[in-house]
Amino acid sequence: MIIPQTTEVLAQIANSIRRGGVIAFRTDTFYGLGADPFNRDAVRKVKKLKGREDGKPILIVISGREQINRFIAERTKAFDVLAEEFWPGPLTLICKAAPGLPEEITAGTGTVGVRLPDDDNVCALVRECGGALTATSANPADHEPARTAQEVSDYFRKAIELIVDGGPARGDLPSTVVDVSQLEPRLIREGVIAWSDIRVLRQGG
């Protein structure tokens, strides 16, 4: 079912998440598959929808900086520098995962990718759902990320309880992913934010 994102439906969306459901919603980049990251069964549903290998972790979007300590065990200097410069924004930072975070999220890596979106509507939805949601792209493995609610529906038909229509994706690139779990940041995926901008910032620091 496709529903528009309005203030009136946020409670319905949050109830679906609390019951262990999976939603699709527009993030600050593409559409993502949203579930409670602490609900193992819900995260397994996300992986099943994606047809994703167990060896790949699932990134998380948060509604505010106050959520960081729920997911990150250790904040490195690189994390603090990059989060201060680029958050909120399309930068996913990989850090050592907090104890208790399900292995379905970390895929046994001991790390977790977290992003604070630069989008008030996205943050409002995530906040209503408990402050954090999984946000792996809403597409089967080996398919292009969905850019509209209708594309999500075409991919998954009725397999997703709620598809939240937040309008078209804001761009053509995913978030940039940087591993900051060690002393020096390491590029995992270049996206909206150029790696050269991150390197200049680090060199300047």
Tell me phi and psi for residue 8, to 5 degrees.
-65, -25
pLDDT at position 203: 58
Residue 5 CA from chain centroid, whole number: 18
pLDDT at position 85: 96
Residue spans of beta strands (DSSP E) within the chain: 2-4, 23-26, 31-34, 60-62, 72-74, 91-97, 111-115, 132-134, 136-137, 162-165, 176-179, 186-189
2-204 topology per CATH: DHBP synthase (3.90.870)
pLDDT at position 105: 96
Please, what are the averages of pLDDT over each run of 10 residues along the chain (205 residues)?
A: 92 97 97 98 94 82 97 94 97 96 94 97 97 96 95 95 95 96 94 92 59
| Domain residue spans of the chain | 2-204
Distance of alpha carbon 90 from alpha carbon 176, whole angstroms: 6
pLDDT at position 141: 87
